A and B are shown apart, each in its own frame.
Chain A
Amino acid sequence: MPKPAEQKQIQQYPNLREIYIALIRNYPSYKKYQSDYETFVSQINRSDPKWLRDTRSRAATRFQELGFPTANHGNERWKYTSVAPIAHSIFKYKPSTDTDEINLDDIRHSTPHDKEWTKLVFADGCYRQDLSHIHQNGTTIVSLSSCLKDPESRILKTHLARYADFEGDGFTALNTAFLTDGAFIYVPDGIESTRPIHLVFLSTGQSQHTASYPRALIMTGRNSKLTIIESYVGLTDNPGLTNTVVEIAAGENSKIEHYRLLAESAESFHIGTTRVNLSRDSFFSSISISRGAKLARNDLNVILGAPGSGCTIKGLYITSDSQHIDNHIDIDHATPHTSSDQYFKGVLTDQSRAVFSGRVLMRKNAQKSNASQKDLNLLLSDKARVNTKPSMEIYADDVQAVHGATAGAVAEDALMYMRSRGIDKHTAMSLLVNGFTSEIIDEIKPAYLRGFVGKMFSAKGNINHI
């Protein structure tokens, strides 16, 4: 359905109607998602609270209106990434059940693991208690499916779908329409949760073209601390779609350390939406490591909603073959005395493509704030391509802001220098590439995660293509 404003335009300009119909025809899968949704709604527990059913229904309707995003009409947010491969296929929601067999060794092999961590495992978006392990330490760590059924779940009613707005975003609307499971984490006031909490989202690929809609709501109370790791891991090469939404709300003076590991299979599609809202003096630090998926979007939006709040957003993406990885970061400096620091690095081989884009908005009242945005790329093949577009919109006059981006090949003089010490070209290349990536990897604090990521990249042989 066109929006009312569009309907009016269509009436005024008959040609626009034709264009609209052509657009819809381009993406015929919309309607299929509607029937998928109707099946889903008819199957799930009718005892779900009304607010949840209403939210899903509004989101489903909104998705029908919005559809999948396109780069049309000057949509800067999707300028360099076409989701046509997703829109042209049909991915069906197929929740996995407790009885679906998943090999524990597969999980151990493909995800970082430390027995000290709390681990919540989700198979195609559904919580698997049998594969999970929770260390209780004063923190609420539960699956959404278990607490959504509780009619008293007022905290969810208030906060779920509050930070990730589905009105303006098709993928978020689609995720919300299928909202049924995921993780809910709440760190109460004054609790410093020292053990990392690891959310493992497995794409089982047990059937072709499965869509999963993982969801997480993460909240911290006043003066609290939390370390959270999200891993998205594909267990088979079957193509699938993971459309995930994570909402994070940091309480006053709390600190959240966040890691995001993307290791989906080479044929899969991944749309990750993270929405972060920061209170006074809270701090959010995030490192995303993106390796897997044929087409991936890491869409992160941080609202520095109160004075003293800040964030550092770091990321590393390594692409090969015909992969396409898009990091889109929006930072909203909505108040004075806020800080943001973005630092991304990419290594591209073959004919792969990466996108780094985003916007730092420094509103008129964001005085005495500072922001930086940097994206550095190493292109290891003539055919690899990166679109990097850091941008800042500054309306305050007393702020510090810097941004920059580079893309280039491995420096010949560095290569020659290493070879003049007896190191062969291949080893020299890998030392240089590891040197480039280590700046981000070394920042990962949990040792097992840092080790896993380090191994993942050195074993991948990213430089074998040269």
Chain B
Amino acid sequence: MLEIRNLQVSISTTEILKGINLNVQKGEVHAVMGPNGSGKSTLANVLAGRPEYEVTHGAALFEGQDLLGMTPDERARRGIFLAFQYPVELPGVRNRQFLKAALDSVREHRGEDELSVRDFNKIFDEAVQSLEIDPELIKRSVNEGFSGGEKKRSEMLQLSLLNPKLALLDETDSGLDIDALKTISKGINRHRNKHNAILLITHYQRILNYITPNQVHVLIDGSIAMSGGEELAKELEAKGYDWVKEDIRS
């Protein structure tokens, strides 16, 4: 589904990603872990098409198509979803209105009919309920006045409605208490199926207690230093990232 070849990325002349190779197949969950500043978020953001990053070398293919030449909205319509580390507030833009516009354009791209307001409201309300989101809160403008945890739930609401093929979860677990983490993990597991894929970017091993990855990659200083199965995450939690760094040196 996603194939990244020797991807090199800079932001204002500073090189952040120094040649990433990664293959994610349908039905897989890949966890990307790493210390602060290792380039984890850059990887997610560049795949979603944030304009401030410059790809200096390499390629990223999504279902065999060149991803890097597409606008951010085109990527989303094709089935890529970035759950933001810091979701943006949209004053005056209501959640329903925003999600209806997003879903309409995604469905149109898939060749599906636009949902009626009634059908939309039905799936919207169901998703709100299952993610344990306060129905009063979600009547407000997108993310406006939401707490950190509420913003992350709202991202999961968008994920579950848009139902993307590839979800890029950028530190969705950061800043969550244990109950919120469980709810959000439940949402992710419900979304997970054999037709879609997830790139789960995290600083902590904690979320992997609830979501079992197929592969774990350790990103250090812009390169994947180590890859392995789910047990690698536990080892990292026990030994810390310095252990990987020492391991590379030796």
Contact residues of A with B, CB < 8 Å? Answer: 411-414, 416-425, 427-428, 431-432, 434-439
Contact = CB atoms under 8 A, between A and B. Distances in A.
Contact of A434 (B92, B102, B158): B92
Contacts of B71: 419, 425
B76 A431 contact: no
> Would you list the 3 A-B pairs with minimal beta carbon distance, nearest first?
A435-B92, A422-B76, A421-B102
Nearest to B161: A421
Given A416-B88, A420-B75, 11 more contacts: A416-B72, A418-B90, A420-B72, A420-B82, A421-B76, A421-B158, A422-B102, A425-B73, A427-B105, A431-B97, A437-B92
Contacts of A428: 73
17 contacts: A412-B51, A414-B89, A416-B88, A418-B93, A418-B98, A419-B49, A420-B75, A422-B109, A423-B73, A423-B98, A423-B105, A424-B73, A431-B101, A432-B92, A436-B92, A439-B91, A439-B92
Interface in B58-92: 71-73, 75-77, 81-82, 84, 87-92
A465 B162 CA distance: 30
A438 B92 contact: yes
A21 B101 CA distance: 62
A454 to B, nearest CB: 12
Contacts of B25: none
A439 B144 CA distance: 13
B215 interface: no
B106 interface: yes
A444 to B, nearest CB: 15
B48 interface: yes
Contacts of B84: 417, 420
Nearest to A440: B92
B245 interface: no
B139 interface: no
Contact of A414 (B50, B81, B88): B88
Contacts of B106: 422
B141 interface: yes
Contacts of A424: 73, 105
Interface string B20-50: 0000000000000000000000000000111
Contacts of B77: 422
A419 B72 contact: yes
Contacts of A434: 92-93
Contacts of B72: 416, 419-420
A419 B82 CA distance: 11
A414 B90 contact: yes
A279 B109 CA distance: 61
A420 B48 contact: yes
A413 B48 CA distance: 13
B80 to A, nearest CB: 8
B125 to A, nearest CB: 19
A412 B99 CA distance: 19
Contacts of B75: 420
B199 to A, nearest CB: 14
A23 B50 CA distance: 56
Given A416-B51, A420-B48, A427 B101 contact: yes
Contacts of A420: 48-49, 72-73, 75-76, 81-82, 84
B112 to A, nearest CB: 13
A136 B87 CA distance: 54
Interface string B141-163: 10000000000000000100010
Nearest to A433: B92
Given A418-B90, A421-B158, A435 B141 contact: yes
A427 B48 CA distance: 19
A182 to B, nearest CB: 37
B51 A431 contact: no
Most chain B C-beta atoms within 10 Å of own C-beta, residue among A423, A428, A437: A423
Given A416-B51, A439-B92, A423 B97 contact: no
B105 A422 contact: yes
A301 to B, nearest CB: 30
Most chain A C-beta atoms within 10 Å of own C-beta, residue among B82, B88, B92, B99: B92
Contacts of A418: 90, 93, 98, 102
A425 to B, nearest CB: 7
A206 to B, nearest CB: 40
B174 to A, nearest CB: 18
Contacts of B73: 419-425, 428
B120 to A, nearest CB: 15
B172 to A, nearest CB: 14
Given A427-B105, A432-B93, A421 B88 contact: no
A411 to B, nearest CB: 8
A423 B88 CA distance: 15
A25 to B, nearest CB: 50
A411 B81 CA distance: 20
B142 to A, nearest CB: 8
Contacts of A414: 88-90
Contacts of A425: 71, 73
A423 B93 contact: no
Contacts of A435: 90-93, 141
Contacts of A419: 49, 71-73, 76
Nearest to A411: B88
Interface in B101-132: 101-102, 105-106, 109
B90 A417 contact: yes
Contacts of A421: 73, 76, 81, 98-99, 102, 158, 162
Contacts of B158: 421
Nearest to B75: A420
Nearest to B80: A420
